[in-house]
């Protein structure tokens, strides 16, 4: 007979330990912050030792708390995966891939048909993620742009790309040299603020600044930035991976030939335990094959 502590207490502790916050754990489990605090306190009393060192502005795991949390996380992940698999009741595995909307629409999805033809038994589900969103433990894996550092996850570099200015063809006709950008509106991606300064430095020109001190417009993703460029709002700087189809279709043009390597790369990211999920290995092998086309 198993003698286990309260399951609710274990869930509350695991969520709080993973987030480092009772408030975030409460939001995930749809209960109050006070309820999380109470369940963890009862669990500590049941175990006979403290799991957190509660400080004024921080929640710090004790040595025993650090030892317990990874086992609980893996156990709950395993339960969630099994419930998902049983609920789906499919003949083959389900593969959930998290990634940014831009790379999904402009690169992965147009190529997915070849994976489906080779592995029709595997259902692929694309979930929303990216640089502005954290990893989600419901995903089998993710294709994310970053520096390769996702604590608690394994990351394998897939490919990088280069950044090149693009804009509507009408605007491109007015830009003969990089210095002409002084009179243009630069379109920025908010969380990749180093993109334009690096390109302009390589081009040997200063970053333009409007009389008001406002430097162009900022958007939350490359997808929105490129749409603004297509609509003639200004000049975007984007990975060539994202712009090739629009250039071929005449929706965008490259006013200058200069491209600079991106600082970050795309990675295949997952927990070590999820490598055993059905469908992961075939998808990983296929992904490396199609990535060879990029670099």
The structural domains of the chain, with segments of one domain joined by +, span: 7-86, 91-151+268-288, 162-261
Other beta carbons within 10 Å of 270? 23
Q: Radius of gyration (Cα) for the chain, nearest Å?
A: 24
Instruction: Answer whether residue 214 shows pLDDT above 60.
Output: no
**7-86 and 91-151+268-288: identical CATH topology:** no
Fold of 7-86: Arc Repressor Mutant, subunit A (1.10.10)
Inform me whether the pLDDT recorded for 211 exceeds 70.
Answer: no
Cα–Cα dist 54/38, whole Å: 13
Q: What is the pLDDT of residue 164?
A: 94
Higher pLDDT, 130 or 135: 135
Which residue, among 199, 211, 201, 213, has the nearest Cα to 257 in the 3D structure?
199
Q: Please state, in angstroms and rounded to a whole number, the distance separating the CA atoms of residues 255 and 103.
A: 23
Task: Give 63's contacts (C-beta < 8 A, 6+ positions apart).
Answer: none
Tell me yes or no: is domain 162-261 CATH 3.40.190.10: yes
Q: At residue 135, does pLDDT exceed 80?
A: no
Q: For the segment 80-130, what is each residue's pLDDT rounded down to a tens digit?
A: 888 877 776 656 788 999 998 888 988 899 889 999 999 998 999 998 865
More confident residue, 193 or 213: 193
Identify the weakest region by mean pLDDT among 52-66, 90-104, 124-138, 168-182: 124-138
Helices (H), 164-217: 169-172, 195-203
Superfamily of 91-151+268-288 according to CATH: Periplasmic binding protein-like II (3.40.190.10)
Neighbours of 256 (CB within 10 A): 18
Q: Residue 120 class from Cβ within 10 Å (0-12 exposed, 13-18 middle, 19+ buried)?
A: exposed
């Amino acid at each position: 007979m198993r003698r286990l502590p309260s399951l609710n207490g274990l869930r509350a502790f695991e969520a709080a330990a993973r987030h480092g916050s009772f408030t975030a754990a409460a939001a995930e489990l749809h209960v109050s912050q006070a309820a999380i605090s109470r369940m963890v306190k009862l669990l500590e009393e049941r175990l006979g030792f403290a799991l957190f060192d509660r400080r004024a502005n921080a929640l710090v795991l004790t040595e025993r708390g650090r030892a317990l949390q990874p086992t609980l996380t893996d156990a709950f992940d395993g339960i969630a995966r099994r419930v998902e698999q049983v609920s789906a009741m499919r003949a083959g595995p389900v593969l959930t891939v998290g990634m940014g909307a831009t790379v999904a629409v402009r690169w992965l999805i147009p190529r997915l048909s070849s994976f489906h033809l080779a592995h029709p038994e595997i259902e692929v589900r694309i979930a929303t993620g990216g640089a502005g969103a954290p990893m989600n433990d419901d995903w089998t894996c993710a294709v994310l742009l970053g520096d390769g550092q996702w604590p608690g996850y394994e990351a394998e570099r897939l490919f990088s790309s280069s950044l090149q200015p693009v804009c509507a063809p009408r605007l491109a006709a007015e830009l003969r040299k990089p210095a002409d950008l002084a009179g243009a509106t630069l379109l920025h991606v908010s969380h990749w603020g180093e993109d334009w300064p690096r390109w302009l430095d390589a081009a040997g020109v200063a970053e333009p600044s409007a009389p008001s001190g406002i430097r162009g417009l900022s958007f939350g993703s490359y997808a929105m930035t490129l749409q603004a460029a297509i609509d003639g709002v200004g000049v975007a700087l984007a990975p060539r991976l994202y712009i090739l189809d629009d250039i071929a279709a005449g929706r965008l043009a490259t006013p200058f030939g200069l491209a600079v390597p991106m600082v970050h790369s795309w990675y295949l990211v997952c927990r070590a335990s999820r490598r055993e999920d059905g469908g992961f290995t075939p998808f990983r092998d296929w992904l490396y094959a199609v990535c060879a086309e990029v670099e």
